[in-house]
Each structure stands twice: as structure tokens, then as C-alpha cells.
Chain A
Amino acid sequence: MDVPVATRIFALIVCIAILWRMFGAKRGVQYFIRRIPGIDAIEEALGRATEMGKPIVFTPGIDTLSNMQVLAGLSVLGWVAKKCASLYVQVIVPLAKPTVVPAAEEIVRNAYREAGAEEHFRTTNIRFISEDQSAFAAGTVGILAREKAAAGFYFGAFGYESLLISENGNRLGIIQVAATADYVQIPFFICACDYTLIGEELYAASAYLSRDPMQVGSLTGQDMAKALILLILLVGSIAAIFSGELNPVQGLLGK
């Protein structure tokens, strides 16, 4: 693995910042998280589903478990499923990768068990659709329409099917909340969904919802890392402006 030294050092600093805050939170330090309207809307959508007596659809996207966005999506799925179990709302999880099926099934089953409603968990609600993006989009839209879903949650990694799913959901009048770190798909979700979490908010959602100290700690650790990135950008920009060089470090060193 040939990784530049600067990248290694930076990654190490980021890891240390996150771990420091995580263990700080474990020791009992309280951290503040700002309000994220998109995540607040999840509860609103679940309440609507309860009132209507209809299921909700939650998908972590089209990638495998090696994609961090999918893992972040599954992390949110755990909380959503637990809430649904306590409200007796069915969660339907369309999946595009067969390897995600057992993980999603276990997460939803655990959530129902923790809510004391394991008897309401249905294995057939965790549905492998297809690895093909178009077929996955068609299958998911079919579920939204046929099952008359009250809400759609799209948290994870998406490609062009983002617009196919969310636009159809919009036409069906479903409350939709989406979150992805793929910046090409973000505009599609913003256009078609009621609420969209942008980029890093996908990773923050689980911490925000669960208020688990370790997750909250890691979230503030991320903020520290981002502050560091911002500082580097600021110093680099100033150096580039005043040195007239394209390489800011060189400009700073005066070489």
C-alpha cells in the first residue's frame, strides 16, 4: 500500500482527535450537538406512518458493507426500526446487495427484540431486489406504490436511481428523508425529497438519534478534524495569495 507520508500523518491526527473525544464522552464529558432539521423530520414521518397505519420504506442504497455510507445508513436503520417496533409500524428494507441482507435482517430483528416486539418482525420485509441499479429502482418504486408506504428513508450510497426512487416517491405523496455523501446525488434528493441530509450529516444522524455517548463523542471528534482541515485551507489560501506561488507551502517557506 503506497500512501504518501502526509496522508498517513493527517489520517493519524484525525483518528486521534476522534478517539480522544469518544473516550472523553465515555468518561462522562457532555458534548453539544446542533439541531439537524432533517433528522428531526424522521420522527415526524414515523408519527405520520403510525397515524396512517402504513409501513415505511428504508433503504441503505446500492453498495456493499465495505461502503461507509451503507454502514452509516444501517446504523440509522437500527434506530428507525426500534422506533417503528415500539409504534407497531412495519419497516420494509429494499436492498441491492445480497451481502447486506443478513446484516440488515439482524439489525431490524435486534431492534424489534429490544423494543419487546419481536413477534411483529417479518423476515420478508428485508427484501433483496436486484444488483442492477435500474431493476433496484423499479423494485423499490414498486414497493413504495404497492405497499402504500407512508414514508421513505434513503440513507446510504446511491447512484442515478436516487432520482428514479425519490421522484416517484414525491409523486406518490410520501414523506421522504434522504441522506447521502455522494455529492452528485445530493441535488436530486434535495429536489425530490422533503428533507435531505448533506454529506457528513449522514454520519451524524445515528449519533443525533441515539445520543449514545460514544457516537456523540466521535461526532465532536469529527468537528475537531474538520476544524483542522479548515485551518490548513485557510493558511494555504493566505500563503497562496501572498506568495503568488501555486504551491502554498513553498510560498510560506519562501523558497
Chain B
Amino acid sequence: MKGFQRKLIWTATFIFGAIWILAFFLPGEVGGGVDRHGMYAPDLVGTRLFYSSGSRQTSAPLNEHKQGSYICQLDLTAVNRRETAFRSSPFRRDDYFGAKRPSVFQVGEGWVMLYLGLGKDDRKRVCMARSDDSVSWRPETKSVFDPPRENAPEGVLWFSVYAESGGYRLYYGVMRRARIVVHQAFSEDLINWKDEGEFLELPEPESVLSLSAMKDGKFLIVSKLPDKNPFVSISSVQDGVAKDRVFVGGDEDGVPEGVEIGEKYVNAGFAQVIVDARVKEDAGFMRVLIVGGEDVNQFGENREGVLKLGILEGTDLSNLQPIQGSLPNGSVAELSTPAFSTGFSSIAGKMSDFVPIVMTFGFVMGLISLVMVHGRRIRQGGDARWFSLLAVLALIVMVIIQFGNRTTQNHPVWTALDDIFFMRMQFPLGATMFGLLAAYLVSAAYRAFRIRTFDAAVLTAVAALVVITQVPMGQFIVSLFSPESAQAGAAFDAIATEPRTWALNVANDAVQRAVGFGAFVGAVAIALRLWLSLDKTSFE
């Protein structure tokens, strides 16, 4: 390679690599206000407003942060002074990835906040923080409520807590058959919770996004049908079923049959789409906390669609007004100033656009290589020429079929040909090759498990244990020796499962991680050598 070409490649490699490295090491944003990426899931105690925000843009418009959320706080008498109450922590397992949805109570001399922790295992649990002055918060190490996994496979999706005689009641959303239903739990002290099972299930496929209890025994429910915007309704709940539902806000188009259309009381200018609403009542005075934002579908996907919140107040639903000091659009405050973007991430992302270009040229190179290799073999003759001829013919036929299929926009003839050659020939042939693995596994295992050394004996013993207990063979084998086959087999399986689990999850996992660590460090080394053009042996 000529000197100039070499320097050009070195320089380009260094610049491209440097941008990716800077994007990796430097933060994507610098500065900015605490709630620049949205305000949602609020709670209001007196004039103290607690809410959630996040450290980055959400992945989809009008959504809460799945990770990186934290709790913010402000006083309604000074809305511009907003601060972080606390953030998630890598030192706390149960809110490792985020903290959101605060619910604050004054307990004795102090304050208690329940919040939703996004755990290290991606499970959501109800966690607790304490404070002496409702300003400085100390999150507890472990969660206070984690519902049974059989009822709540993903944990608590949202929750609301209310004081009642003798304790506190917690309503929480869980996923069931691809929609959200409401369960409940009770506690006397906010710490020890007893799960009481299902509370409300709306007719399929409607999901409950939030539920808040009102003084008259009814509930304010935000719910949503698939592919529709959410709406707000008032309802009583009897035997797990919503009765006398009346629409009071949100998107009227999303209301299912059986819900009476009432006045749109829960409404605010900033919230064309309402995703959450929570009612707080005190001495005949009602406040409704609304979360929502622009209907991004009307403006196209380029709108960020961040969540904002507003507070309506009045003596009842019919005379709600934005609280004093609200902005003209009804929100409590504008989101705080955006951060300064370092830009490396976006530049690195744009650089990825080069990949399809290079790939396209790469395909041409592959095609040339294929035709050259097989063309030469066809010219040379011999038995191999027929295989090569078949390969080249298959290539030409598939190119013609795909070209015809795309240009005629799935004409039945081309589609049928595609179906014959691709789905009925290429797919089964591929599956046949994959199926051969079964036979090769047996022959490879036979060689591996020949007991010639102590190591091989241990390997064989462990492999036999894993194989026998991994499939329902234990009961069958034991049944050959024991007349009480079912019981004896089940007992055998129960005993054998423990060492199998240990072998797979402890011994095997440890080795895999060790290999992974070494490979990671090796990959970093080779990447550094290539980036700095220090590998003079092969990549000159």
C-alpha cells in the first residue's frame, strides 16, 4: 500500500474511532434542569409537590422512563426552585435502575415516601424513603412490597396508596394477558404489607393505567384500549368489576361500550393526551393531578412528546380550575432548561450510516468472489463443475425471482416462484443441515465422555446428571427399578435437580463468566491496536 493511502486510512480510522470513544466515555448531555425530560407520576402534600423525571429522553413519546428515573420535588409557592429528592443507586438492589411514582405521608414527626423502584433484576417493587423535613430523603436499602410472582410476573407497574381506618391500602397494577389489572394490599404501618389479591379487572382488552380512591367510595380510573388514547372515568367497584362508569376526561374516541359519556371535567390545555390522573381530597376540597402532553400522532413522530403535569382544584369535579400560578396552558410549570448536548453520540450514530454503504459494496465483492471461484471450476471441468454450475444457476435464478417479485410488487407468479425456491427449498435444506447437529452432537459427546482420565470421569458423571435431570428421564429410569414408579421417580428428580442446578448455575456460570472477562479484555486490546494503527503484522 502506498504511503499516502496508508496515512489516509490511519487518519480516518483514528478520527472515526475517536468519535466513538468520546461518545462512550463522555456524558451525552451536560447541565440542564432536573426535569428537562418530563414531569410525571406526581403526589401533592400541602404545597409540596413530588414527581418523577428522568436523566434522558424516553424511548417513546408520552412515556415514563423505563430506566434512569428519579424523584423530584418543589414547593408550589416557588415553582422555579426544583430539585432532586433522590436518585436511584447502584448500591441499592431494588431501585438500581430508577425510582419514580412517589406517594408521601406524614407519619408522626417524620415523613415517609413510598415509591416505585426499578430493580437490578428489572422487577418493579414498592420501596420506601424517609425524611425528617420532607426535603432531605433517605431511601431504605430494601423494598417494602414485592407482590407474589405468580400474580405479578413483572412486579408492580404502578401503585397508589391511601390511608384508611387502621392502616393503609395500596392499589397496584399488574400485567395479565397483555393488559393491566388492579390488585390490592393492606398494611398497618406502611412497611409490612399483606397482599389481598385482585381488586379490579376491566373488560378485555382494556388496561388500567392508574386508579385513585375518592372520599365517596368511588374511584378515578385512567384506562386505555389498545391503539387508542387513554381516558379518565369515575366508577364504583363491586366484586372486582367496575360499575356505573362515567367518562370525565381524556380522549372520548377511546371510550369502550358500557361507559357513559359525561362532562369532560378532567381537562387541561397542555394535556391533549392524558396518561395519568390522581385525585387528592381534603376537607371537602378536591385537587386532581393530571399528567399528559401533546398528541404526537397529530404532529408526526419528530415531536418529543414529553410529559408535563398540571393541578386542577375545586370543591368537586364539576368546578375544577387550574391552581393559582398555573401557566396559561394549565401546566404547573414549563420543563426546566434543556441540557447542552456534547453531540458525540449523535455524530457516532450518523457515522453508522456508512455501514449500509460499505455493506453494499461488500455484497458486490462477495458476488464477484462467488462467480470467480465457481466460474473457474466450471471452466476446469471435472465432477465438481456440476456443483458449481448449480450454485451459479441458483444464484441467477434467485436474483431474477427477487428482482421480479420486488418490481412487480408481489405479483402472484413471482411470489409463487419465491415460495418454491426460497421457502420450500432453501429453508428445508437449511433445516436439514441444522438437524444434522443432533447426530454430530452424539458422536462428539461419545468422544468427550470416554472415561480415560479422572477429569473425563468427572465430566461424564456431571454430564449424565445434567442430561438425565434436564429431560423427564429420571422418573422413567427409576420406574424401571421400582414398582412405585411415580413417587420414587419424582423423589429422584427432586433430589437430582439440586446438584444439576448447582452445576449449571454456579460451576458452569462461573467458567463462562471467566471466559467472558478474558474475551472482553482481549477485544479491548485488539480494538485499541487497530484504532491507533499499532498492529503492524496483519493490518498494514
Contacts and interface: CB of A to CB of B under 8 A. Distances in A.
B38 to A, nearest CB: 16
Contacts of A132: 426, 430
A101 B93 CA distance: 47
A142 B409 CA distance: 37
Bin the interface of chain A by size.
35 or more
Given A8-B24, A75-B526, A128-B370, A200 B519 contact: yes
B537 A75 contact: yes
A247 B96 CA distance: 11
B373 A250 contact: no
Interface stretch (A35-43, A47-55, A181-189): A181-189
A22 B344 CA distance: 27
Contacts of B433: 134-135, 137-138, 164
Interface stretch (B228-236, B287-295, B358-366): B358-366
A215 interface: yes
B537 A210 contact: yes
Contacts of A212: 535-537
Contact of A146 (B384, B514, B529): B384
Interface stretch (B73-81, B98-106, B444-452, B480-488): B444-452
Nearest to B508: A183
A188 B444 CA distance: 7
Contacts of A202: 519, 522
Contacts of A250: 91-92, 141
A59 interface: no
Interface string A149-192: 00000000000100110010000000000000101001110111
Contact of A1 (B345, B429, B527, B539): B345
B237 interface: no
A199 B376 contact: no
Contact of A79 (B384, B516, B527, B537): B537
Nearest to A191: B444
Interface string A110-131: 1100000000000110111000
A1 B436 contact: no
B530 interface: yes
B91 to A, nearest CB: 5
B434 interface: yes
Contact of B516 (A101, A164, A183): A183
A130 B348 CA distance: 30
A174 to B, nearest CB: 15
B238 interface: no
B90 A226 contact: no
B538 A206 contact: yes
A98 B366 CA distance: 4
User: Which applies to chain B's interface (DSSP): helix, strand, loop or mixed?
Assistant: helix
Interface string B444-468: 1101100000000000000000000
A134 B447 contact: no
Given A160-B434, A191-B447, A68 B522 contact: yes
Nearest to A12: B25
A99 B359 contact: yes
Contacts of B387: 142
A110 B366 contact: no
Given A8-B25, A75-B539, A212-B536, A200 B93 contact: no
A49 to B, nearest CB: 20
B369 A226 contact: no
Nearest to A9: B25
B68 interface: yes
Q: Which of B68, B344, B363, B529: most chain A Cβ within 10 A?
A: B529
B340 interface: no
A225 to B, nearest CB: 5
Contacts of B358: 99
B90 to A, nearest CB: 7
A222 B366 contact: no
Contacts of A204: 522
B534 A214 contact: yes
Interface residues of B, number: 70
A87 interface: no
Given A2-B28, A160-B434, A181 B538 contact: no
Contact of A200 (B362, B426, B522, B529): B522
A14 B521 contact: yes
Contact of A183 (B441, B512, B524): B512
A244 interface: no
Contacts of A218: 525-526, 528-529, 534
Contacts, number: 213
A18 interface: yes
Contacts of B495: none
A1 B23 contact: yes
Interface string B78-98: 000000000000111100000
Contacts of A255: 91, 141
A183 to B, nearest CB: 5
A68 B252 CA distance: 54
B56 A2 contact: yes
Contact of B440 (A19, A75, A167): A167
Contacts of B528: 15, 18-19, 22, 218
Nearest to A129: B370
Contacts of A187: 448
B367 interface: yes
A222 B526 CA distance: 10
A128 B366 contact: yes
B8 interface: no
A68 B526 contact: yes
A246 B93 contact: yes
A147 to B, nearest CB: 10
A127 B371 CA distance: 10
Contacts of A19: 528
A3 to B, nearest CB: 6
Most chain A Cβ neighbours within 10 Å, of B141, B363, B367, B525: B525
Q: Which 3 A-B pairs have the closest CB atoms?
A: A98-B366, A78-B538, A203-B522
Given A100-B362, A110-B538, 5 more contacts: A15-B528, A74-B539, A134-B432, A138-B433, A167-B444
Interface of A: 1-4, 6, 8, 11-12, 14-15, 18-19, 22, 68-69, 71-72, 74-79, 95, 97-102, 107, 110-111, 123-124, 126-128, 132-135, 137-138, 142, 146, 160, 163-164, 167, 181, 183, 186-188, 190-192, 198-200, 202-204, 206, 210, 212, 214-215, 218-219, 221-222, 225-226, 229, 246-247, 249-250, 253, 255
